[in-house]
Amino acid sequence: KRWQEAMDDIQARKERMSKALADWEAYTQALARARTTLEAREHDLAAMQPLLLDVTAAESALESLLSQVTGEPLGKQVDEAGRKAE
């Protein structure tokens, strides 16, 4: 009887270890997928960065051009346009 109990205990431990291993493999695969997604997003952001810098530079250039053409800072023009609209 003791022999059978020991064998049952070993079998139960084996099953728990197999389940733990399967869970670990699933977590590892999920982590790998998440890492791949993160790397893709980082690549997308890196590709967008020059475009964002170009937009900022274009806005600055436009603001500078408007200031030069009118002789007034852009903020005053916006305020004046707002007053006229009211």
Instruction: Note the residue count of the chain.
Output: 86
CA dihedral in degrees (25, 31, 36, 38; nearest 10)?
A: 180
Of residues 77 and 32, more confidently modeled: 32
Q: How many CA atoms lie within 13 A of 11 on its CB side?
A: 6
**59-75, pLDDT tens digit by residue?**
888 888 777 666 666 66
What confidence tens digit (pLDDT) does each residue in 20-59 have? Answer: 999 999 999 999 999 998 898 888 888 888 877 888 888 8
Q: What is the pLDDT of residue 75?
A: 67
